[in-house]
Amino acid sequence: MQIQDHWLSDVTRIVSPNFNDRPSEDDISLIVIHCISLPPNEFGANYIDDLFCNRLNPALHPYFEAIATLKVSAHVLIRRDGTCVQYVPFHKRAWHAGVSVYEERENCNDFSIGIELEGTETIDYTQAQYDVLNNVIHALLNTYPNLSKQRITGHSDIAPNRKTDPGDSFDWAKIIEVVV
């Protein structure tokens, strides 16, 4: 897997409108791991694409009524089967972290790349997801010089009073061993 013009090669591209310019395109220095399932604890539908593209139909599920108007995105989603989708080019600011702080620096969206895993905090992620995640991380580390294996964190670590993802079901050792 390679990155060309801030897009991953050989992945599905669905462009989200939910992004804007970073304060500095050269300041990409953090990778944030998230999880998402829509509806909660269900996998395999295209509802995540719909949410990130502002077309989630609130009538399809009661949970969607509360989130359909959110303007959110991530740079990348890795589905349960390992399919990878990119929504925002890496040099742009995706809207994934919300109110957040990393090493006393606020607004993590300004300097981070958001990677969503289709999953929950309580259901184990698949080996296919770890394999693709490692490939994505490897490509990012080889492209953006301010990234490092020490600057990979969970959403729960940058928004601890608000978020719990990727949760206890995420096995950090499965990425650390590969990106060493």
Q: Record the pTM.
A: 0.97
pLDDT tens profile 12-68: 999 999 999 999 999 999 999 999 999 999 999 999 999 999 999 999 999 999 999
Q: 3-state SS string over the chain?
A: CCEECCEECCCEECCCCCEEECCCCCCCCEEEEEEECCCCCCCCCCHHHHHHCCCCCHHHCHHHHHHCCCCCCCCEEECCCCCEEECCCCCEEECCCCCCEECCEECHHHCEEEEEEECCCCCCCCHHHHHHHHHHHHHHHHHCCCCCHHHEEEHHHHCCCCCCCCCCCCCCHHHHHHHC
CA dihedral 77, 103, 25, 172 (to 10 degrees): -30
CB 125 within 8 A of CB 119: yes
Q: Nearest-CA neighbor of 140 among 52, 29, 36, 34?
A: 29
CATH number for the domain harbouring residue 73? 3.40.80.10
Burial of 73: CB neighbours in 10 Å, binned 0-12, 13-18, 19+: buried
10 Å Cβ neighbour count for 136? Answer: 23
pLDDT for position 180? 46
Rounded Cα gap, residues 169 and 177, in angstroms: 17
**pLDDT grade, residue 178 (50/70/90)?**
low
Positions marked catalytic: 116
pLDDT for position 20? 98
Structural domain range at position 67: 3-179
pLDDT tens profile 70-99: 999 999 999 999 999 999 999 999 999 999
Looking at the structure of the chain, the number of domains it has is: 1
Q: What is the mean pLDDT of the chain?
A: 96
The distance of Cα 61 from the centroid of its chain, to the nearest Å, equals 23
**Out of 43-47, 48-52, 132-136, 173-177, least confident range:** 173-177
